[in-house]
Amino acid sequence: MNIQNYINGQFHNPASNDWIDNYCPANGKVYGQIPNSSKADVENAYIAAKSTFPTWSQTTLEARSRILIKISELLETNLQRFAEAESKDNGKPVSLAKTIDIPRAASNFRFFGNAITQFASESHESVGLDAINYTLRQPIGVVGCISPWNLPLYLFTWKIAPAIAAGNCVVAKPSEVTPMTAYLLGEICTEAGLPKGVLNIVHGLGTTTGQAIIEHPDIKAISFTGGTTTGAHIAKVAAPLFKKLSLELGGKNPNIIFADCDYDDMLETTVRSSFANQGQICLCGSRIFVEASIYKKFKTDFIKKVKQLKVGHPSKEDTNIGALVSKPHLEKVMQYIAIAKEENGMILCGGNKMTITGYENGYYLEPTVIEVSTDECRVNQEEIFGPVVTMMPFNTEDDALQIANKVKYGLSATLWTNNLKRSMRMSNQLQSGIVWVNTWMLRDLRTPFGGIKASGIGREGGFEALRFFTEAKNVCIKY
Ligand code: NAD
């Protein structure tokens, strides 16, 4: 099946007629093609967005809200179709796409459809100077949204929804590895009555289509989620053009487990935070640190549970772990397993590719647990982004804090303890944008979301996102 660009409310082939193969990770077969859009396609998308901006930015908040909520409802109506498409494109279990990815994409539109009706600006009375200041929050104009392959529609819509809710028009590019649900979203937007040109979706490689978006002199803001190296490149290109930037990048998140935690809850959640979505979530707790007094017990119990996870075809109901997203990604993850062995890491379970009968060319890998003797080894420092976690014991709270913070990343951290003072002390000192205590990935869309250090700049979520997608203009009136 061939995917097309969605520009000015209509589907188009790429101007250059340049196409890329789209693979199904579950069987390794090409099942369609996607445009590798050029500068000309991005320019067409920009022109459509620019010409609609004067009308869309003046559309009432109620009318915008109604359309966003309609998109949300249509996604819910089409849940099964979208979940199957997401699974086929990405390799994740259909059950996961059906319970997490697509419902969350629908929530993104509903949430920002509601949030925009509550978004307010400030006023300041300059007492003694006979003046009043009020702050306008004006949409930026045409903005660019670029997203990765791990949570395709979920993260694509996490950017698009606040951008259009705030009155911007968008040129958006999903990952070329997982373009399908972004393609289907175009149909939904048309059906929901989104005026043509408000959202334009161009497909293609980062180095061609993505590059054309970030270099475009009149696309005034870029909201990007993806790898840290790509983020650094985008920052370099965008800086001299003075674009507003939001960068949500990689992570190497610590999962710190103290002996006084609720053990069963911790164990079950740790299996999830290690391997959900084949470990391909930027928030996965890929470094597990366990207090020495329970290390042995944890190791036995954790390995037992991990071995029970079923790797299988994504469409099967009982599959816990589907296929990795692509062949190059599977090879990258396998390389890290080889590095772990070279570094004297102990493979406690997994470590091998898997063959699923009937789908022999799919990209399957056993969930892998590596015991490391030092936090400084490469598998403990570099983002692997697959079903691979490391574990090691720690002795004191200070030790745990030190090793948790001793990476270049700072996205999220998970802490398991029932000691209130310790949880507050550590939450204050953990170097990450998000800390979960006694839970993982519990999301409230109003909260700021993002990382520090090499995990990015800026925050998404709630009013933070609406602030990013607007320019503040202060008006001072003397009376
Ligand atoms: P990636 O950086 O390779 O690609 C992300 C997107 O950027 C894709 O759409 C790609 O085509 C585009 N791109 C690549 N080069 C570009 C360029 N020169 N100009 C413009 N766009 C370009 O990342 P990926 O492999 O798709 O995703 C995995 C990474 O994303 C991991 O590092 C993961 O941690 C990160 N991630 C972060 C978050 C977060 O919220 N912090 C969430 C999910 C994923």
- At 289-342, the pLDDT tens digits run 999 999 999 999 999 999 999 999 999 999 999 999 999 999 999 999 999 999
Q: Distance (Å, rounded) from C-alpha 226 to C-alpha 224? A: 7
CATH code of the domain containing 430: 3.40.309.10
The residue count of the chain comes to 479
Residue at 450 is within a domain:
no
> For residue 79, what are the contacts with CB-CB under 8 A and spacing of at least 6?
98, 102, 103, 106
pLDDT category at 396 given cuts 50, 70, 90 is very high
Of 230, 232, 246, 282, nearest to 166 by C-alpha is 246
- Residue 193 sits in the same domain as residue 330: no
Query: Is the distance from CB of 209 to CB of 203 less than 8 angstroms?
Result: yes
Is 1's pLDDT higher than 90? no
Percentage of the chain surpassing pLDDT 70?
100
Is 34's pLDDT higher than 90? yes
**Ligand 1 mean position, distance from CA 78 (Å):** 27
Residue at 410 is within a domain:
yes
Instruction: Output the residue whose Cα is nearest ligand 1's atom 8.
Output: 175
**Ligand 1 mean position, distance from CA 205 (Å):** 11
Is 138's pLDDT higher than 90? yes
Closest atom of ligand 1 to 234 CA is 19
Three-state SS for 403-431 is: HHHCCCEECEEEEECCCHHHHHHHHHHCC
Of 377, 378, 383, nearest to 410 by C-alpha is 383
**Ligand 1 mean position, distance from CA 216 (Å):** 19
- Residue 290 sits in the same domain as residue 382: yes
Residue 195 has what DSSP assignment? P
Q: Distance (Å, rounded) from C-alpha 95 to C-alpha 98? A: 5
Of 319, 22, 328, nearest to 152 by C-alpha is 22
73 given a catalytic annotation:
no
- Residue 199 sits in the same domain as residue 221: yes
Q: Indicate left, alpha or beta for 128 from its phi (over 0: left) and psi (-120 to 50: alpha).
A: left
DSSP E strands: which ranges in 304-358?
346-349, 353-356
Tokens matching residue 218: 């009149």
- Residue 121 sits in the same domain as residue 221: yes
> For residue 467, what are the contacts with CB-CB under 8 A and spacing of at least 6?
137
**Mean pLDDT value across residues 22-30:** 98
**Ligand 1 mean position, distance from CA 174 (Å):** 9
| H or E segment and range at residue 282 | none
Query: Is the distance from CB of 291 to CB of 394 less than 8 angstroms?
Result: yes
The one catalytic residue in 248, 366, 371, 460 is 248
**Mean pLDDT value across residues 265-286:** 98
- Residue 162 sits in the same domain as residue 31: yes
Query: Average per-residue pLDDT in the chain?
Result: 98
- Residue 466 sits in the same domain as residue 390: no
- Residue 113 sits in the same domain as residue 220: yes
Residue 240 has what DSSP assignment? G
- Residue 308 sits in the same domain as residue 335: yes
**What is this structure's pTM?**
0.98
Domain membership of residue 384 as a residue range: 254-445
Q: How many helices (H) and strands (E) does the chain have?
A: 16, 24
Q: Distance (Å, rounded) from C-alpha 270 to C-alpha 416? A: 10
**Mean pLDDT value across residues 262-267:** 98
Binning the chain into helix, strand and coil, the percentages to the nearest 5 are: 45, 25, 35
Q: Indicate left, alpha or beta for 273 from its phi (over 0: left) and psi (-120 to 50: alpha).
A: alpha
Enter the ipTM: 0.98
Residue at 182 is within a domain:
yes
- At 399-411, the pLDDT tens digits run 999 999 999 999 9
DSSP E strands: which ranges in 174-253?
199-201, 221-225, 244-248
Ligand 1 binding pocket, CB closer than 6 Å: 146-150, 155, 173, 175-176, 205-207, 210-211, 214, 225-227, 230, 233-234, 248-251, 282, 383, 385, 411, 451, 455-456
- At 197-245, the pLDDT tens digits run 999 999 999 999 999 999 999 999 999 999 999 999 999 999 999 999 9
- Residue 365 sits in the same domain as residue 262: yes
- At 435-453, the pLDDT tens digits run 999 999 999 999 999 999 9
CATH code of the domain containing 241: 3.40.605.10
> What pLDDT does 449 receive?
98
- Residue 220 sits in the same domain as residue 368: no
Closest atom of ligand 1 to 151 CA is 43
- Residue 391 sits at φ, ψ, to 5 deg, of -145, 150
- Residue 273 sits in the same domain as residue 197: no
Work out how many domains the chain is built from and give that number: 2
Residue at 78 is within a domain:
yes
Query: Is the distance from CB of 115 to CB of 163 less than 8 angstroms?
Result: no
- Residue 119 sits at φ, ψ, to 5 deg, of -80, 125
Is 54's pLDDT higher than 90? yes
- Residue 439 sits in the same domain as residue 471: no
Residue 460 has what DSSP assignment? B
- At 81-118, the pLDDT tens digits run 999 999 999 999 999 999 999 999 999 999 999 999 99
